[in-house]
Amino acid sequence: MGFDDETRKMKILATMPGETVKSVQDETGFKLLVDDNIFEYKPPTTEEIRLIREVIDPTQIFCKS
């Protein structure tokens, strides 16, 4: 998410894998703008997942497995 510089309204900058602009909008309580250069985030690599689980948040305070 981000904000449009001119209107200061919230806009979708990117989606997570498996999500669409429609699915994001459907779960939001207000109308979102859509960035002209919207993209889909790449899923995390195996190494990134390992780092999150073993180094960054091993007690699963923020990221539950």
* pTM given for the model: 0.69
Contact call for residues 44 and 18 (beta carbons, < 8 A): no
Give pairs for 42-48: CB < 8 Å, separation 24+. 42/17, 43/17
Q: Which of 50, 28, 51, 53 is nearest to 11 (CA)?
A: 28
The pLDDT, as a whole number, for residue 64 is 79
Q: What local confidence, expressed as pLDDT, does residue 36 receive? A: 95
Q: Where are the chain's structural domains? A: 2-56
Output the tens digit of pLDDT for each of the chain's 65 residues: 999 999 999 999 999 999 999 999 999 999 999 999 999 999 999 999 999 999 999 999 988 77
Sign of CA dihedral 27, 28, 30, 35: negative
